Structure 1
Amino acid sequence: MKLDPAFIWTAFVKLLSAVPTTLFITVVSVAAGFLLGTAIALFRIYKVPVLGPLSAGYVTFIRGTPMLVHLLLIYYGLPAVIDGVSAAFGWSFRSVSIPYVVFALIAFTITASAYLSEVVRSGLLSVSSGQLEAAYSVGMTTPQAIRRIVFPQAFAASIPNLSNSFIGMLHGSTLAFTVSVVEINAKAQIVASTNWKYFEAYIAAAVIFWGLTVLIERLAGVLERKINIYNRGGVA
C-alpha cells in the first residue's frame, strides 16, 4: 500500500464541513446531559423518595450498557412509540418526519446524563458540609445554599472530569453515522469511497479529532485557572 499525502490534505479539507455537525451533537448532548445529570445527582445525594432510587437504577443501567446500544434502542424504539401514540390519538404526525440527528441527540444525552451525574455528584460531595451549615446560619434555604455556595465550588472541582466527559462525548459522536448522520467519521467514509483511500481519509479524521481535543483541553485549562483566581480572591 502506497500512502498518498496529497489525498490526506484533500480529505482534511473536505472533512471540515462535517465539524459543525460533530460539535453540535457533542455540545447539545453534553449541555442537556449536564442539566439532567445534575438533577439526578441531587436526587441521589439528598435521597429524594422514589426519585433517588430510580436515579440510582438509571445510572447503573446506562453506565452498564454500551453507548451504541442506547443509540439503537432510541433509533428503533422511539419511532414505534411515537407512531403508536399518533395512531391512538388520530394525529397525522409520524416519526419519519423527525431528522436522524434528533435520535442521536436524545441517545447521547441519555448516555451523557448518567456519566455526568457521577461527575456532578463527586463534585458536590467534595464540598465540606460546613459550607451548608454556614449558609444556614445566615438564613439561606437549602436551594439557595446549593446554588450560591455549594454548586460554584463543586463546579470548579469538577472541571477536569467535565472536560474528560466532553472529550469522551466528542469521540463517541462518531457512532452517529450508524443512524445516517453525516459527522466527521461518516464524512471520512464518503470521501474515501471515491477512490478507496480509506487510510488517508481516517488519518485526516484523526488529525481533526486530535485538534478538537487539544482545543477542549486548553479551554478547560483556561477556565480552571480563572476560577481558581476568583477562589483565591483575585481578579481575572
Structure 2
Amino acid sequence: MTVDLSFLWTAFVQLLPAIPNTLYITAVSVTCGFIIGTIVALSRIYKVPVLSQLGTSYVTFIRGTPMLTHLLLIYFGLPLIVDDLAAKFGWSFNSVSIPMIGFAYISFSITAGAYLAEVIRSGMLAVNRGQLEAAHSIGMTTIQALRRIVVPQAFAAALPNLSNSLIGMLHGSTLAFTVSVVEINAQAEIVASTNWKYFEAYLAAAIIFWGITILIEKATALLEKRINVYNRGGVA
C-alpha cells in the first residue's frame, strides 16, 4: 500500500475550515458542563435536599449510557417538546428554528456535566476539611471560604482530570456528524468521497486532532506549573 502524500496534504488543507466547529462544540460543551458539574458536585457534597438525589441520578444515568445515545435522544426528543410548547403557548419559535449544531451543544453539555461533576467533587473532597473549619473560625462565610481557600486547591487537584475531560470532549465532538454537523471527521469523509482515498483523509484528521490534543496537554502543564507555585499544601 502506498500513501498519496500529495492528497494527504490536500486533505489536510481542506479539513482546516472544519476546525472551528470542532472547537466551538468542545468549548461550549465543556464550559456549560463545568457549570452544570459544579452545581451537581456542590449539591452532592453538601447534601442539598432533592438536588442531591437528582444530581446522583443524573450522574448515574449519563455515565451509564453512551454519548451517542444522549445526542440521539436530544435530537429526536427536544423537537417534540419544543413543538408541543410552541403549539400550547403560541410561540413563533419551533424545532425548525434550532440549528443542527445546537443539538450537539445541548447534548454534549449534558454529557460533560455528569463527568465533570465527579471530577469537581473529587477535587473538592481532596481538600482537607479542616481548612474550611479554620476559615469559619476566623469569621469567613462558607461562600468566602470556598472561593478563597477550597476552590483554588480543588482546581489544582482536579486539573489533570479536567484536562482529560476536555480532550475526551474534543474527540467526542466527532459524533456531531450524526446530526449533520460538519466537524473535522465529517469533513474528512466528505473530502475522501471525491476519490475514495479514505486512509489519507482520516490520517489528516488524526494529525489535526493529535495536534490540538498536544496543545491542550502543553497548556495544562503550564497552568499546572503556575498553580503549583502558589499551592503551599493543604491538599490531603
What does residue range 111-150 of structure 1 map to in structure 2 within 5 Å? 111-150=111-150
Counterpart of 1:186, as a letter, is: A
The equivalent of 2:197 in structure 1 is: 197
Aligned mates of 1:22, 1:51 — CA distance in 2: 32
Aligned mates of 2:150, 2:3 — CA distance in 1: 54
Aligned mates of 1:109, 1:91 — CA distance in 2: 25
Counterpart of 1:132, as a letter, is: L
Counterpart of 1:84, as a letter, is: D
Counterpart of 2:102, as a letter, is: V
Unpaired runs of 5+ residues, structure 1, are none
Aligned mates of 1:73, 1:129 — CA distance in 2: 40
Residue 139 of structure 2: SS of its match in structure 1?
A: coil
Shift in Å, 1:102: 0.6
Counterpart of 1:185, as a letter, is: N
Counterpart of 1:117, as a letter, is: A
Shift in Å, 1:43: 0.4
Shift in Å, 1:148: 1.3
Aligned mates of 1:20, 1:94 — CA distance in 2: 27
Aligned mates of 2:170, 2:207 — CA distance in 1: 14
What does residue range 1-236 of structure 1 map to in structure 2 within 5 Å? 1-232=1-232
Aligned mates of 1:178, 1:107 — CA distance in 2: 12
RMSD across aligned C-alpha pairs, in angstroms? 1.0
Shift in Å, 1:64: 0.1
Residue 115 of structure 1: SS of its match in structure 2?
A: helix
Shift in Å, 1:3: 2.2
Residue 3 of structure 1: SS of its match in structure 2?
A: coil
Counterpart of 2:104, as a letter, is: A
Shift in Å, 1:130: 0.9
Counterpart of 1:44, as a letter, is: R
Shift in Å, 1:92: 2.1
Shift in Å, 1:60: 0.2
Deviations 1:50-100 (A, max 9, x none): 110110010000000000000000011001100010011122222111110
Aligned mates of 1:191, 1:97 — CA distance in 2: 29
Aligned mates of 2:93, 2:40 — CA distance in 1: 32
Unpaired runs of 5+ residues, structure 2, are none
Aligned mates of 2:97, 2:119 — CA distance in 1: 35
TM-score, normalisation: structure 1? 0.97
Identity of matched residues, %: 71
TM-score, normalisation: structure 2? 0.97
Counterpart of 1:187, as a letter, is: Q
Residue 93 of structure 2: SS of its match in structure 1?
A: coil
Aligned mates of 2:91, 2:58 — CA distance in 1: 31
Shift in Å, 1:232: 4.2
Aligned mates of 1:183, 1:119 — CA distance in 2: 27
Moved over 6 A (4+): none
